[in-house]
Amino acid sequence: MIEVRALTKSFDDNTVLTDVSLSIAHGEVVGVIGPSGSGKSTLLRCINHLEQPDSGDIVIDGEVAYKDARGRSLSAAKIAETRGSVGMVFQHFYLFPHMTVLQNVCSGPRFVTKTDRRDYEQKAGELLERVGLSEKAHQYPEQLSGGQQQRVAIARALAMEPRAMLFDEPTSALDPELVGDVLAVMRTLADAGMTMVIVTHEMGFVRQVADRVLFMDEGRIVEDGTPEALFDRPQQERTRAFLSSILSHTGEAPLEQGAGK
């Protein structure tokens, strides 16, 4: 459903992604782990065209996205259309501070697809219920905790009825006690069959929820496998080094880390 073909991206002299290829099946939940600066977030941002790759293609549902047949960039309107079909959740939520929670969730259908107001307001209400925040509908983001804001951000992305969801370190900016609620929402989403790509440091969550884990380092996918294979029997030396450095500073095994939540 999402295919990444030979993606390369650099910022000035710094190469962030080197020839990254990857194929994600419909309904698959993919965890992306790796040290900071390894290109995980950039990969995600390229899938949604928030970054323009230097070379390579993003293919969504069999069609090359963001480019025409000759490889030229599509119009801003066409790019926006494709972006709207893939939801994205950011580390720092980026809720619109001048809109209420309900208005945030409605913003996609209201300003992009322009569906009927009663329809999208009703749907936004249902989504808020799903993330457990119905009673916050008329408050402003600044009145919510980080965990609540992130759940609103997830609802806002879901309101566009995306074909897939991209999560860019969704819990990294949260106080530890707020992480669980956000992960619970993501888990129900995964259980409901949503295609998801999750960049995260929550190893326990990845182990429990992901069908597949990618380990990235220095702009490349170093290892790609099931959570069991990657966490328990890492094939690459770099993967082992990364996992052991994580385990040594948390002092916990990945499974237990997530099981408590």
Partner 1 sequence: MFNPEMAQDALSTLLLGLLITVELTLLCGASSLVFGMFVALARMSHIRPLRLVVSGYVQLVRATPLLIQLIYIYYALPFVGIRLSPFMSAYLGLTLNVSAYLAEVYRSGIEAVPRGQRDAAAALGMRPSVIMARVVLPQGIRIVIPALGNYMVSLFKDTSLAAVITVQEMLFAGQIYAARTYDYFTIYTVVFVLYFAVGYPAIRLVMLLEKKVKRGYADRKRLLMTPTGDVAAMEVRP
Contacts with partner 1, residue ranges (CB under 8 A): 48, 50, 76-77, 80-88, 90, 92, 94-98, 107-108, 111-113, 139-143, 153, 156-157, 160
226 within 8 A of 211, measured Cβ to Cβ: yes
State residue 11 phi and psi, 5-degree precision.
Answer: -110, 115
In whole angstroms, how close is the CB of 20 to partner 1 at the nearest point?
Answer: 20
In whole angstroms, how close is the CB of 3 to partner 1 at the nearest point?
Answer: 19
Of 168 and 223, the one with the shorter C-beta distance to partner 1 is 168
In whole angstroms, how close is the CB of 174 to partner 1 at the nearest point?
Answer: 16
Two tokens at 68?
Answer: 């025409």
Report which residue type is found at 44: L
Distance between CA atoms of 98 and 61, rounded to whole angstroms?
A: 35
Of 108 and 227, the one with the shorter C-beta distance to partner 1 is 108
111 within 8 A of 99, measured Cβ to Cβ: no
In whole angstroms, how close is the CB of 142 to partner 1 at the nearest point?
Answer: 5
Of 86 and 210, the one with the shorter C-beta distance to partner 1 is 86
In whole angstroms, how close is the CB of 207 to partner 1 at the nearest point?
Answer: 27
Q: CA-based angle 73:74:75, to the nearest 5?
A: 125
Of 111 and 177, the one with the shorter C-beta distance to partner 1 is 111
Q: Where are the beta strands (DSSP E) in the chain?
A: 2-11, 14-24, 29-33, 55-60, 63-64, 86-89, 164-168, 195-199, 212-217, 220-225
148 within 8 A of 136, measured Cβ to Cβ: yes
Of 102 and 203, the one with the shorter C-beta distance to partner 1 is 102
In whole angstroms, how close is the CB of 36 to partner 1 at the nearest point?
Answer: 18
Which residue stretches of 109-162 are H helix? 117-130, 146-158
Of 130 and 220, the one with the shorter C-beta distance to partner 1 is 130
